[in-house]
Amino acid sequence: MRIAFYTPTLAMGGYEKVVLGYANEFVKKHQVTIICGKAEGPLANDIAREVKVVDFKCRMRGYLKKMTAWLKENTVDILYVPFTTFTLMTILAKKWTRSTCVIYGAQHGFEKRHVIIDRIIGRIVNKADVLTAVCNAVADYEAERLFIERNRYYILDNPVIDSQKRIVPCEHKWLGGNKTYPVIIVSGRIAEDKRNDIAVRILAEIIKKKDVRMIVLGDGPEKNKVEQLSDKLGVRAKVDFSGYVQNPKGYMINADVFLHTARLEAFGNVIVEALHCNLPIVSTDCGGPIDIIEGDKYGINIGAWNEEDVVERGAEAILKILNREVRFEGMQKKAAKYDAKYLEEQFLEPYYECIKKN
């Protein structure tokens, strides 16, 4: 089968990692192409040699023209494209070129648009052969906003881990042989919607009862603000803002708890990575992460980010885990579900159903 994935860049982002995970695994059995808006970014070095890479050398503005030209010259069975704007333009390109490809309009996040624009976009996006979402919350959101029947959306799990790959522990002053205190890991972009301020407030609450440390992996526009908050709350010495790291699992493997305090999260690759490291999860009720941990089966759901007692509930949940009052079984087995080698059947099912209907 011929499968093509579109990605705007090869940056170290969640969607880009998904494309890479699929491509590197599927190329073992299929002809796989990654089409890039701009084939730039650190992930370029991780693409399997067998995967063909096409560089459109353009941003969104030039996409329609480039994709139309590419479809005129190339035949593909599945064309996987992200987000509504790219899906819309790909539908037009397919129509103009009379391509027989099956378009997967893949939704990986909660897009904000004006309600009138949603109505217009929805009419075209609904013409995609297949619509997918990374979790039920995203599918519900898109179906409602775009006035599309919810049963049109397939839920496709993100390929996050490679179970064949050994996790290499990273050196850190609070981990490994240097470990003296329990360690909480926070990982991801430090941005407003991630609500890292809640994580720091939870730490301050825990410190009243137990001496712990927190390692924050990631960077972003809110980093200075969160650092200032840790100063204000008197916990700056207990937090290490390590910045972006290439191997977050190397830190997770020797930690004690993973804390996630997002306002809204479509999937949460970091949640799967933590489970792969046998790390219990404490998360706000923010969408995808709660689907992954199945409520309270593989972690603790502390409620929505804006609930009055979310900080107290977060601190209580972490203390329960650290004091061994609660345990979770089968975390690594759950994480294995998100290995690309187990996701091929799930990925191809919508294609075969589409072909059968037509």
Domain edges within the chain: 2-159+339-357, 183-337
Which band of pLDDT confidence, cut at 50, 70 and 90, is reported for residue 114? confident
Looking at residue 62, its pLDDT comes to 94
pLDDT above 90 for 36:
yes
Res 64 pLDDT > 90: yes
How confident is the model over 187-210, as a mean pLDDT? 96
Q: How far apart are CA 61 and CA 288, in angstroms?
A: 30
Which two structure tokens, joined as six digits, stand for 352? Answer: 């075969």
Q: What is the structure's pLDDT at 286?
A: 93
pLDDT surpassing 80 at residue 74: yes
Greatest CA separation found in the chain?
Answer: 66
Residue 358 has pLDDT above 80, yes or no: no
Across the range 162-178, mean pLDDT stands at: 88
Average pLDDT over every residue of 47-74: 96
Closest CA to 285 of 137, 133, 108, 158: 137
CATH domain 183-337 topology: Rossmann fold (3.40.50)
Prediction pTM value: 0.88
Q: What is the mean pLDDT of residues 100-109?
A: 95
Decide whether 2-159+339-357 matches 183-337 in CATH topology: yes
77 pLDDT tier (thresholds 50, 70, 90) = very high
Percent of the chain, pLDDT > 90? 85
Q: What is the pLDDT of residue 273?
A: 96
218-232 in b/e form (b: 16+ CB < 10 A) is bbbebbeebbebbee
Asked if residue 183 has pLDDT above 80, the reply is: yes
Nearest to 130 by CA among 349, 300, 293: 349
Mean pLDDT, the chain, as a whole number?
Answer: 94
pLDDT at 252 over 90: yes
> pLDDT-derived band of residue 98, with 50, 70 and 90 as boundaries?
very high
Q: What's residue 90's pLDDT? A: 98
**E strand spans, 140-256:** 153-155, 183-187, 213-217, 239-243
Give yes or no for residue 12 having a pLDDT over 80.
Answer: no
Q: How far apart are CA 271 and CA 283, in angstroms?
A: 9
- Residues with Cβ within 8 Å of residue 12, at least 6 apart in sequence: 41, 42, 43, 244
164 has a pLDDT exceeding 90:
no
- Could you name the CATH architecture of 2-159+339-357? 3-Layer(aba) Sandwich (3.40)
Q: Round to whole Å and give the CA distance between 152 and 337.
A: 23
